[in-house]
């Protein structure tokens, strides 16, 4: 795959907003992921609220109904709720992509058809097989990038100052690579690419992958807006893949020309 620029990669997710909102078919195929992501987000938020409420009641039951016990219980509940919401902000993208991979592939398919007039369908041929493959591939990605985040966290935890500096610099970069991996997956997997091939594709042009991931990162950290932005990121990821594929095909034709 040939390289494209950092800046061009970074603005693709944002250009996709206009594309989705101004073309009816892409907008319609974005509605299903939006609805699905709303349900996932609401479910995670309800779970976070339930856990925090149970913790508050447990503290009050343990220490009695004195005012300080009630205050401590609700303080603990609020802290757990804030922590759970923070964790939800980080994990939401992965959970949404894990559960809605089929919808992402459909949106990617129709984006490619809109841009090229033709599109390559998923090799499995049926929704159940597509969903199973999508889940397996998503879990591989979560384990790989999760291991990287764990290493950075341990450096931050056990190596004073230097570990914190490394974490502060490396964590956003690693997150950007993980987002580039996530949102090109609907297109790369339709090409029959599996985890190792997708990994090589992303890191074959690290600067462009970093730019694309950083273009998505700000919106992925904002509750509500994060799941609204997911279809735009999928469309942007489809464009990013096709741009690199087109450049490669063009160069191969030049090399093969007499």
Q: What is the pTM of this model?
A: 0.77
User: Is the pLDDT higher at 86 or at 228?
Assistant: 228
Spatial CA neighbour of 2 closest among 257, 240, 195? 240
Percent of the chain with pLDDT over 90: 35
pLDDT digits (tens, 9 = 90+) for 177-193: 999 999 999 999 999 99
Contact 134, 67 (CB under 8 A): no
Q: Which pLDDT value is given to residue 140? A: 92
Of the ranges 5-19, 28-42, 73-87, 136-150, which one carries the lowest mean pLDDT score? 73-87
Residues 6 or more apart from 106 whose CB is under 8 A from it?
29, 32
Residue 85 clears pLDDT 60, i.e. is over it: no
Q: Is the confidence at residue 90, as pLDDT, over 60?
A: no
Residue 6 has pLDDT above 90, yes or no: yes
The pLDDT, as a whole number, for residue 76 is: 64
Max Cα-Cα span within the chain: 88
- Give the pLDDT mean for 118-129: 85
DSSP string for 134-146: HHHHHHHHHHHHH
Q: How far apart are CA 129 and CA 137, in angstroms?
A: 12
């Amino acid at each position: 795959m040939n390289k494209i620029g950092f800046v061009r990669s970074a603005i693709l997710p944002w250009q996709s907003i206009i594309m989705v909102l101004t073309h009816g078919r892409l907008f319609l195929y974005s509605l299903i992921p939006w609805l699905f992501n709303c349900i996932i987000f609401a479910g995670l938020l309800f779970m976070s609220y339930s856990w925090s409420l149970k913790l508050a009641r447990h503290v009050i039951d343990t220490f009695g109904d004195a005012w300080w016990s009630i205050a401590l219980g609700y303080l603990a509940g609020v802290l757990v709720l804030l922590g759970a919401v923070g964790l939800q902000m980080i994990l939401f993208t992965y959970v949404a992509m894990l559960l809605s991979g089929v919808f992402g592939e459909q949106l990617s398919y129709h984006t490619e058809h809109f841009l090229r007039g033709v599109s390559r369908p998923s090799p499995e041929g049926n929704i159940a097989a597509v969903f199973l493959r999508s889940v397996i591939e998503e879990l591989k990605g979560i384990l790989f990038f999760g291991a990287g985040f764990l290493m950075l966290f341990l450096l931050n935890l056990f190596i004073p100052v230097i570990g914190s500096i490394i974490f502060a610099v490396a964590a956003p970069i690693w997150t950007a690579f993980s987002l580039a991996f996530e949102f090109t997956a609907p297109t790369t997997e339709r090409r029959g690419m599996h985890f190792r091939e997708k990994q090589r594709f992303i890191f074959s042009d690290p600067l462009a992958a970093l730019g694309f991931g950083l273009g998505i990162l700000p919106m992925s950290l904002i509750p509500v807006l994060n799941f609204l932005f997911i279809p735009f990121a999928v469309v942007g990821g489809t464009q990013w893949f096709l741009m690199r594929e087109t450049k490669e095909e063009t160069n191969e034709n030049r090399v093969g020309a007499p």
